[in-house]
A and B are shown apart, each in its own frame.
Chain A
Amino acid sequence: MSPDVSTTELSSGRTGVTADDFDRRNLDWYVDKAVEVLVFICGISAIIFIIGIFTFITKEGYAFILQMDWVEVFTTQYWFPSDEGDPEFGILALIAGTASVTGLAMAVAIPFSLGGAIFVAEFASGKTREVLKVLVELLAAIPSVVWGFIGLSIMNPLIIKTFDVPVGLNVLNAGIILGLMAAPIMTSIAEDALKAVPDRYREAAEAMGATRWQIIVRVVLPAAKNGLLGAVLLGVGRGFGETMAVLMATGHSVNIPGSLFDSVRALTATIAAELGETAVGSEHYQALFAIGIFLFLITFIINLSADLIVRGVREG
């Protein structure tokens, strides 16, 4: 009998396996197709959500944006949105509040997280490393209201006592709290970036007689700079978006800060604190959504520029 594939039974002993089977769709084929569709939906859901959220906040806020006085909104610091006769919607102080707190938070978090990541990735070994990694991740999981509570009940009296100032809820308090909040996740990302640097780079530098510190500064950090930049920008994004801890620790008073000890108010905290008290559709309500649009655009720009910078670094 000549071995003709289309008609002969296969030697494995399975009967009836003929060329026709190549045209028949079986269960495996349908499962594969179903999974493909399912995964596709999950994959594009991010796009759907982003467009949906943007549409929603725009719908609620666009009426205000169309008729608002741009100069007044962005260059004055008077935020009296519920004034009966003459409401004012200057968000300059709110922007200054968010920016000052985020700036200080990064000044705290960047050295902390970079140092922590270098220790965990390059110096710590074995058990120390494992324990530290778990603890850092645990720290990242603490809810922001807990951080806000620490700001209120521990940092506040501490700052009043240490610096002899009347109020302890201010830029310094919120900046430190936010910095400590952002540091764990930044550490985690930065450590991943350092770990992603192949060991052969370290070995090559070691073989040349470089000390561990020289290897870190001259080889590992330059090699990991994309990931480290990503970690920092993630922290900045976190700073802009954080609401609860900032609401509790800043003092929540509209103010362009002149020093670390001035109370401020953040954009996010303003939305959180006031949205519940406004009438749906009122000018105040719409103004808060306009702030939401503004925040959305800022985070979008931060992430986009981060992406472009990282790409640029990679190609350069």
Chain B
Amino acid sequence: MVTPPSPETRQSKVKLAVEGLTIRYGSESALRDVSLQIYEHEIFGVIGPANSGKTSFLKTINRMDVFNPNMHVEGTILFDGRDVRRWRNVYALRSRIGVVFPLPVGLPLSIYDNVALAPRLRGGQSSADLDVIVERCLTRAALWDEVKDRLDALGSLLSGGQQQRLTIARALSQDPDLLMLDEFSIAVDPVTTMRIEDVLKELRNEITIILVTNLVQQARRLADRTAFFLQGECVEIGATEDLFTGAVQDPRTRDYVEGKFG
């Protein structure tokens, strides 16, 4: 697939190409005719108020839409050039995409088992390998120092901020190509949020990240390029700085990032 390289990004390879994506719940449309491209090793921000279709957008990428029979999806999403709707084995697709949900989900397993779950699902790792993976992922999620002495404790009993970092460690343990974060900081204190943001900046060198956020300043701090979704419409896509410095095509974008509504 040939795509003109974008001057704003350091990498030019297209990781995810969305073409004419429309999502409907019953007769109500959640997303209308969205086309965009996400490049490898960039942080792609998606901003917009509630009910803009941001979460629905993420769900179609890793095919979580199949669990909702009410959800109808049209258009194509090419992941590494392959249509995700044609992957026969959705489990293989999902295992390449890490997801972090708005509310932290510490599974009711030990901290160790939480992080070792994905490698175990894939199989083939010795327990020494698992130890290495668990330590590496927890370290990268900035949680290792806090939990290294109690890896047997239940993950679901950690504090909210720790659980969210555990969720990120778990997503990283999948060794994903793509990491999707859906308003990850909603239940996290500001200090932890900044720590996670530092983690994401480092990860940018290795994986592609989609950052859905309702904090416009967070998108400004992290995202290379940002899309603005409003009521199911993709109003604007551009280099993040352009959106904030006023070089926008649509006045609604300026109003939103300046906090006039949302």
Contact = CB atoms under 8 A, between A and B. Distances in A.
Given A204-B105, A206-B67, 5 more contacts: A204-B170, A207-B64, A207-B101, A208-B170, A222-B108
B121 interface: yes
Contact of A214 (B103, B109, B121, B171): B121
A210 interface: yes
B188 interface: no
Interface residues of A, number: 17
B203 interface: no
A205 B62 CA distance: 13
Contact of B94 (A208, A218, A223, A316): A208
Given A210-B121, A214-B121, A205 B107 contact: yes
B6 to A, nearest CB: 28
B156 to A, nearest CB: 9
A219 B105 contact: no
Nearest to B170: A208
Contacts of B118: 208-209
B10 interface: no
B253 interface: no
A187 to B, nearest CB: 22
20 contacts: A203-B105, A204-B167, A206-B94, A207-B62, A207-B97, A207-B99, A208-B99, A208-B118, A208-B171, A209-B92, A209-B96, A209-B118, A210-B91, A210-B117, A211-B91, A218-B117, A218-B120, A219-B107, A222-B109, A316-B154
CB-CB nearest 9 A-B residue pairs: A209-B95, A209-B94, A207-B99, A204-B105, A223-B108, A209-B91, A208-B118, A200-B105, A210-B121
A207 B109 contact: no
A74 B219 CA distance: 75
A73 B114 CA distance: 52
A200 B64 CA distance: 13
A203 B174 CA distance: 15
B215 interface: no
Contacts of B167: 204
A270 to B, nearest CB: 44
A208 B95 contact: yes
Given A205-B117, A208-B170, A209-B174, A219 B109 contact: yes
Q: Interface residues of A: mostly helix, strand, loop or mixed?
A: helix
A254 B62 CA distance: 64
B91 A223 contact: no
Contacts of A206: 64, 67, 94
Interface residues of B, number: 27
A203 B101 contact: yes
A56 interface: no
B235 interface: no
A300 interface: no
A214 B122 CA distance: 10
B101 A208 contact: no
Contacts of A205: 107, 117
A304 B79 CA distance: 55
A223 B108 CA distance: 6
Interface string A178-208: 0000000000000000000000110111111
Contacts of B117: 205, 208, 210, 218-219
B93 interface: yes
Nearest to A201: B107
Nearest to A197: B108
A209 B103 contact: no
Contacts of B94: 206-209
B174 A208 contact: yes
Interface string B100-136: 0101010111000000011011000000000000000
Nearest to B59: A207
B7 to A, nearest CB: 33
Contacts of B96: 209
Nearest to B114: A204
A222 B67 CA distance: 23
Contacts of B105: 200-201, 203-204
Contacts of A218: 117, 120-121
B153 to A, nearest CB: 9
A209 B87 CA distance: 13
A204 B107 contact: yes
A208 B92 CA distance: 9
Contact of B121 (A209, A223, A316): A209
Contacts of B109: 219, 222-223
Contacts of B98: 207-208
Contacts of A200: 101, 103, 105
B81 to A, nearest CB: 20
B92 A201 contact: no
A106 B117 CA distance: 31
Contact of B64 (A203, A210, A219, A222): A203
Scoring B98, B105, B120, B174 by chain A CB atoms within 10 A of each residue's CB, the highest score goes to B105
B58 to A, nearest CB: 10
